[in-house]
Structure 1
Amino acid sequence: MTDKTIREVTFQLLRDLDITTVFGNPGSTEETFLKEFPSDFRYIQTLHEASAVGAADGYAQIMRRPALINVHTSAGVSNAMSNILTAAQNKTPLILTAGNQTREMLLMEPWLTNVEPALLPRPWVKWAYEPVRAEDVPAAFMRAYAIAIQPPAGPVFLSIPLDDWDKPALGPAVARSLASRIGPDPVRIAEFADVLSNARKPALVFGSSIARSGGWHQAIALAEKLQADVWAAPATERPSFPETHPLYVGSLPFAKGPLSAKLEGYDVAIVIGAPVFRYYPYVPGDYLPRGLRLLHVTDDPSESGRAPVGDSLLSDAVYAIEALTHLVAPRSRASSTPVKQEHPIDSNSSASPAKPDEKVTVQRLFHTLRAATPANTILVEESPSNLGALQAAWPVDQEDSFFTFASGSLGWNLPAAVGIALAERDLGRNRPVLAVIGDGSFQYSIQGLWTAAQHKLPILYVVPRNGEYAILKSFAEMEKTPGVPGLDIPGLDIVSLAKGYGCAASRAETLDEVRQVCAEAFDRSGPTVLEVPIVATIPPLL
C-alpha cells in the first residue's frame, strides 16, 4: 500500500510513458480525473469529442507516439465514434478514456451510465476495458499503452468510474518498454526476394504503413535496385514514395475491374504496407489480370487474412523493404520508360489564365495554392470530389507532408490539422499546414476551428465552395440514381462561421486574392479560413 492515490500513480505512469498532453472535451464523470491537473501536463480542449480524437490522431502521427484523449462517458464516446473509426483505419496509437458513474450506482444504471463500456466503441478499438477494481486502473493504462503501439497500432479504450481516482493505490505503477515493430520471417522473405529477382516485369505497390514507419528512403532504394514501376495503393492516406520520382506511375483505382486493368502486363506485383485491396465502388472484373502473381507484406494479420488473393508475409513494411533490398538481384531498366497514369481530370488547362469575370476552377485554385505556399508545406485533404485535381496540381515529394483519412468518414481532417500543427510546434519544425476541405466536409467538425484559434496555430484552411456534395453526384451518375434529394448545400456562409470561432477569414473571388491570403496566412498568429467559390463540376469517380 502507498499513500498516493490512483490519480497520482496514473499521472506518474503517463509521465514515464512520455504522455503529458491530454486532448478532450470534459464532462461531469471526468472531472475527478482532471482534479488538480498537474502543472507539467497540458490539456488541449475541444468543443466536441470527434474533434478531440481527430486532433489527437494528427498529433500522434507527427510525434510518432501515442496520444491520450479524455471524453465524457457513453455520450462522449458516441460523439467520438466517427473519428475513432478513422483512427482505427489510420492505425494511429491512441488511448481513449472516458469516465463512468460511481461504482456504487452502476448496478442501477443511472443517467449517462456507460452500460456496456467494453462493447460501445467496438469494433473500432483494439481493446476496451473497465477495470474490475480501482486498484487496477494504473496497470490498465500500461496494458492499454502496450496494445495501442504494438502492430497493427490503433486506438484502445478505458472506462473508469469517477470514484476510482481518489482511492489509495497499491503501489507505483510498473512502466514497461515494448517493441512496436515486427521483422519478417527469413525463409519467407527470401522466397519473396527470389520471386522478385526472377520476375520479367515486377510492380511495387506501396501503402501508408511505409510512411508510418518513416520508410521513404528505403522504399526508393528498393524501387531503384529493382528498376520497377511504383504504384500507390488504392485510396492511400499517406504517400510512401515521392510522386515526382521517375519510377512513380500513379495511384491504383479503388475498384476491382479498373485496378486489375492497371496491372496488366506485370508478371509479379508486391503490395507492401497496404490492404489487398481497398475498394469502394463495385465495378465487376477479376481481382488480378491473368498471369500476375501477387505478394503481400503487412503487419496486420486481419489484412492478410481477408485478402482475396496473394501470398502474404507478416512484417513491418520497412523491415521487409530493407531485407528485400539486401536480397534481390539488381535489375536494369527495360528500354521502355514508365508511363505516368493521368487522372481523368485534365490538369494542363489549369495553367491557362482566367478571365477577369470568370469563376475560379478547382484546378487553377490548386495550382495557385501550390505555387503560393512554401515548399515544405504539409497538405491535409478532405475534399473527395476534388482529390484528383489536387493530386494533379500538388504531387507529394516530401516525407510526412500529406495526410488524409483512411476511413472515408468525414470530419477528421479539420481537427487533425490542429494536432499536426501543434506537433510541428512542439518539435520546433513549424512547417506550414494547409488544409483543403470541401464546403460540405467543413461542417462535420467545424468546432475544431476554436481550438486552432485558442492555441494560435497558423493553419490555412482553404474551402473550395461548390455548393453541393459533388462526390455524391458522381456516385449518382455511376449508380444510375437520378433525382436523389439532399445533394445541394446552398446558403452556407463559411466566412461568418469561421469568424465566429475566432479565425481570420475571407472570401477570394480571384486567384490574385488567393495569393494575397497565402502570403499573409502563415505569418499570422492564428488560423486563417479562405473560402473560394469554384466552378461546380461532377468529377469522374474513377
Structure 2
Amino acid sequence: MSADGTNSRTVREDTLEVFRQLGLTTVFSNPSHTEMKLFEQWPDDFRFIMGLQEATVVGMADGYAQATGEPSLVVINGGPGTGNAMGSIYTAASAHTPMVIIGGLQARKLQQGAPFLNAPSATQLPQPYIKWAAEAARPQDVPALIEKAYHIAKQAPQGPVYVGVPEDDWIRPANSTPYKTRLVQAAVVPDPQVLADVADALNSAANPAIVAGPGVEIGGARRDLIKMAERLNARVYGSPVWPRGAFPENHPLFGGVLAPLPELINAKLADHDVVIVLGSPTFTLFTTADLFSTAPAPVDTSDAPKLPENTNFIHITDDPEAAAWSMAGSAYVTPPAAFVRGLVSLLPQRQRLALPPLSEPIPTPEASTPITEPYLFHVLSQELPTDAQVFEELPIGRAPFHEQIPLGPDNGYYATASGALGFPFAGAVGYAVARPDVRTVVVVGEGSAQYTIQALWTAGKYNLPVTFVIPNNSGYLSLKYYLDDTSQKAWQEGWDLSGVDMAGLARGFGISGERVETPEQLQAALRKALTADGPVLLDVVVSDPGLFRL
C-alpha cells in the first residue's frame, strides 16, 4: 500500500505474476500503441519474440504450442491487428492449438467515441474461430480473466482464446490481495466398458484398420499406436488433410494418408470390416469427385457423403462437436491418446503376416533440368536428419512428398489443419523457438510462403535452426489444374507467379538464401542448409508437375 492507503501494485504487475505462475513467459507479439503500457519496464525473466505481421505472430505461437504441448501467449492489437491475424487464428482453431491471445484495446474513456485503432465489439471479431472471448468489466479483474482463458484453452478440445484489455487497464491499481492461480487439471479417463467393447470389436475383426489422427500425437501416444497396430496386424492410414503425423510413414503397416474425397476414402476402407478412427474427425473433406468435371452441372440429387455400409466404423475423439456430426456408426468422446494406451493391453498379439501391397513400388525419380518435385523430395529424404521436424505446405506436391519422404518414428510432421495458407512457414519458426535442439525443416511452395513471409526475419533475428526448402514452380498450380486448357490461358493472371525470387527475399530479411536450378547443385546445397548454424532458404526451381494427385 502507498502512503495514502491506496494499492501501489498495478494490474500490469499482477498480470505479469500470473504469467509467471502459468508458465507464459515467452511472448509472441507484433505490438501496437494499445499494448505499450504492458511493456513498460519489461522484466528480464520474460522472452519476447518479435514478428513483423500478426498472422505470422499467431502462426509462430501455434508452432510453439505444438512443440511444448502447453498454451502459447500472443499479444497483438485487438482491432486491425486481430483482423490481420484471422487466417492464422482460424488454422490454430482447426488444429486445436491452445493459445491465449491478448488483444490491445483503446483506453476505456475513449471507447464511447470512434478513436484511432478502435475495436468495437472486440470480443466478437475473432468469433467463431476461438473457443472463448472476454473483456474484463473492471481493470483489476484482468489477471483472473487471463487465468480463466488459460484453463479454457487447455481443456479438450483445446483451442485459442481471446482476452481484450484496454490500454489504461495495465496502469490501474490491482486488487488489494495479490492474485494466485489455481490448479485445474484434466482427470478424464476412458470408460473401461467402452475400452472392452472396442477391444472385442477389433479382436473379432478379420481385417481391421486404423485411421490415425492428430489427437494421438498431441497426447504423446505415437509409440503406443505402433504397438496397437502391430498387435492387430492392422493397416494404418493417416487421416485426411493430415495436419500432424501420428504414425511413422516408413512402417510396413502404414497405408498412406487418406485423400479428402469421400469416393477415395471409401475405396481405401471398404475392404476392412472394422475401422477405428483415432483423434480425427470422420472425415475432413476437401471436395467430391464430380466437382473436378468442367462439364455443365445438372441438378444435384446425389446423397451426402457416406461411408461404406458393410464396415463398422468406431470413432474416438475428445471433441463433442466432431462426435455429434460423425459419419461413424459409433462415436465415443474420450481422450484419444489415453484410449490408445488403455486399448493396447486388451489386444492379444495376432500372427504377423505381411499385408498385401496397396500399390506398385514407387520408382526412384531421375535427375533432370529443370528439377522435378519428386527428384527434389528424393534427394531431401537422403539428407534429412532422422529427428528433423518437418513442416509441409504443398497443395500440388503433397502426394510425391509423402511418397519420396517416408518420415520415421522420430520425425515430427506438421501441416495446416484448416486449408488456410501460411501456417508451416511461421509455425516452424515458433517450433524452433521452443526446440532449438533439433533441425526444423520447412517444405513450402513459393505461393504459400507469401502468407507469412515475415517469419524469415524472426528466424534470422534469433538465429534459429530452420531450413526452408521452396519448390518454386512459378504459380498457384493447384488452381491452374482445376481449369481446362482454354480457361488456364484466359485466367493466367490468377495463377501465374513467375518472377518471385525467394532467395532474394530471404536475403532481404537477413538470412542466407540460395537459388538452386540444376541437380548438380541440389545435394550439396541441401547438405549445407540442413547443417548450417542458423536459418537457410533454398529456392529450388522445379518443373510444372501437371495435374496434381490427392
Supply the AA of the counterpart residue of 1:25. N
2:282 is aligned to 276
Q: Distance in 2 between matches of 1:96 and 1:181?
A: 26
2:221 is aligned to 215
1:192 aligns with 2:203: no
Q: Distance in 1 between matches of 2:136 and 2:359?
A: 53
1:419 is aligned to 430
Supply the AA of the counterpart residue of 1:323. G
Q: Distance in 1 between matches of 2:341 and 2:424?
A: 32
Q: Which of the numbers 309, 334, 339 marks the counterpart of 1:290?
A: 309
90-99 vs 374-383, which deviates more? Answer: 374-383
Q: Which of the numbers 421, 434, 456 marks the counterpart of 1:449?
A: 456
Supply the AA of the counterpart residue of 2:265. L
Task: Kindly state the Cα deviation for residue 398 of structure 1 after the two structures are TM-superposed.
Answer: 2.4
Task: Kindly state the Cα deviation for residue 399 of structure 1 after the two structures are TM-superposed.
Answer: 4.0
Deviations 1:176-208 (A, max 9, x none): 222246322222222222211222221111101
SS of the residue 2:123 aligns to: coil
Supply the AA of the counterpart residue of 1:149. K
1:435 is aligned to 442
1:130 is aligned to 135
SS of the residue 2:168 aligns to: coil
Q: Is contact 2:397-2:548 (8 Å) kept?
A: no
Q: Is contact 1:368-1:511 (8 Å) kept?
A: no
Task: Kindly state the Cα deviation for residue 239 of structure 1 after the two structures are TM-superposed.
Answer: 1.2
User: Aligned pair in 2 of structure 1 residues 324, 524: CA closer, same or farther (>3 Å)?
Assistant: closer
TM-score (norm 1): 0.94
SS of the residue 1:88 aligns to: helix
Q: Is contact 2:272-2:311 (8 Å) kept?
A: yes
315-324 vs 137-146, which deviates more? Answer: 315-324
SS of the residue 2:33 aligns to: coil
Q: Is contact 1:347-1:363 (8 Å) kept?
A: no
1:309 is aligned to 328
Supply the AA of the counterpart residue of 2:311. L
Task: Kindly state the Cα deviation for residue 540 of structure 1 after the two structures are TM-superposed.
Answer: 3.0
The two structures, once aligned, show a CA RMSD in angstroms of: 2.0
1:509 is aligned to 517
1:406 aligns with 2:382: no
Q: Is contact 1:249-1:340 (8 Å) kept?
A: yes
Task: Kindly state the Cα deviation for residue 400 of structure 1 after the two structures are TM-superposed.
Answer: 5.3
Q: Distance in 1 between matches of 2:22 and 2:215?
A: 23
Supply the AA of the counterpart residue of 2:521. E
Q: Which of the numbers 399, 403, 421 marks the counterpart of 1:392?
A: 403
Deviations 1:452-499 (A, max 9, x none): 111111311111111111111233369x98844411111212222111
Q: Is contact 1:461-1:530 (8 Å) kept?
A: yes
Deviations 1:365-385 (A, max 9, x none): 111112123222221111211
**Percent of aligned positions that are identical:** 35
Supply the AA of the counterpart residue of 1:326. S
Q: Is contact 2:387-2:411 (8 Å) kept?
A: no
2:340 is aligned to 321
Q: Distance in 2 between matches of 1:397 and 1:540?
A: 25
1:154 aligns with 2:159: yes
Map residues 92-171 of structure 1 onto 2, 5 A cutoff. Answer: 92-170=97-175, 171=177
Q: Is contact 2:386-2:411 (8 Å) kept?
A: no
92-101 vs 305-314, which deviates more? Answer: 305-314
User: Aligned pair in 2 of structure 1 residues 338, 18: CA closer, same or farther (>3 Å)?
Assistant: farther
Corresponding residue pairs, total: 530
Q: Is contact 1:504-1:527 (8 Å) kept?
A: yes
Task: Kindly state the Cα deviation for residue 46 of structure 1 after the two structures are TM-superposed.
Answer: 0.6
Supply the AA of the counterpart residue of 2:394. S
2:265 is aligned to 259
1:531 aligns with 2:515: no
Q: Is contact 2:386-2:408 (8 Å) kept?
A: no
User: Aligned pair in 2 of structure 1 residues 536, 253: CA closer, same or farther (>3 Å)?
Assistant: same
Q: Is contact 1:88-1:125 (8 Å) kept?
A: yes
2:472 is aligned to 465
User: Aligned pair in 2 of structure 1 residues 432, 411: CA closer, same or farther (>3 Å)?
Assistant: same
SS of the residue 2:211 aligns to: strand
Supply the AA of the counterpart residue of 1:445. T
Q: Is contact 2:210-2:234 (8 Å) kept?
A: yes
Deviations 1:308-354 (A, max 9, x none): 33211111111111222222344334x56242356xxx85141x343
User: Aligned pair in 2 of structure 1 residues 267, 359: CA closer, same or farther (>3 Å)?
Assistant: same
Supply the AA of the counterpart residue of 1:292. T
SS of the residue 1:29 aligns to: helix
SS of the residue 2:482 aligns to: helix
Q: Which of the numbers 469, 492, 498 marks the counterpart of 1:490?
A: 498
Q: Distance in 2 between matches of 1:474 and 1:325?
A: 44
Task: Kindly state the Cα deviation for residue 220 of structure 1 after the two structures are TM-superposed.
Answer: 0.9
Q: Distance in 2 between matches of 1:160 and 1:338?
A: 59
Q: Is contact 2:315-2:328 (8 Å) kept?
A: no
1:332 aligns with 2:343: no
Q: Distance in 2 between matches of 1:322 and 1:523?
A: 36
Task: Kindly state the Cα deviation for residue 269 of structure 1 after the two structures are TM-superposed.
Answer: 0.6
Q: Distance in 1 between matches of 2:246 and 2:31?
A: 37
Supply the AA of the counterpart residue of 2:475. E
User: Aligned pair in 2 of structure 1 residues 477, 239: CA closer, same or farther (>3 Å)?
Assistant: farther
Supply the AA of the counterpart residue of 2:194. R
Q: After the TM superposition, list the runs of 4 or more consecutive aligned residues in structure 1 that deviate by more than 6 angstroms.
A: none
Supply the AA of the counterpart residue of 1:348. P
Task: Kindly state the Cα deviation for residue 421 of structure 1 after the two structures are TM-superposed.
Answer: 1.3
| Structure 1, gaps ≥5 residues long | none
SS of the residue 1:231 aligns to: strand
Q: Distance in 2 between matches of 1:460 and 1:179?
A: 37
SS of the residue 2:215 aligns to: helix
Q: Distance in 2 between matches of 1:128 and 1:236?
A: 28
TM-score (norm 2): 0.92
Supply the AA of the counterpart residue of 1:507. R
1:245 aligns with 2:274: no
Q: Is contact 2:276-2:315 (8 Å) kept?
A: yes
Q: Distance in 1 between matches of 2:231 and 2:7?
A: 59
User: Aligned pair in 2 of structure 1 residues 19, 279: CA closer, same or farther (>3 Å)?
Assistant: same
2:52 is aligned to 47
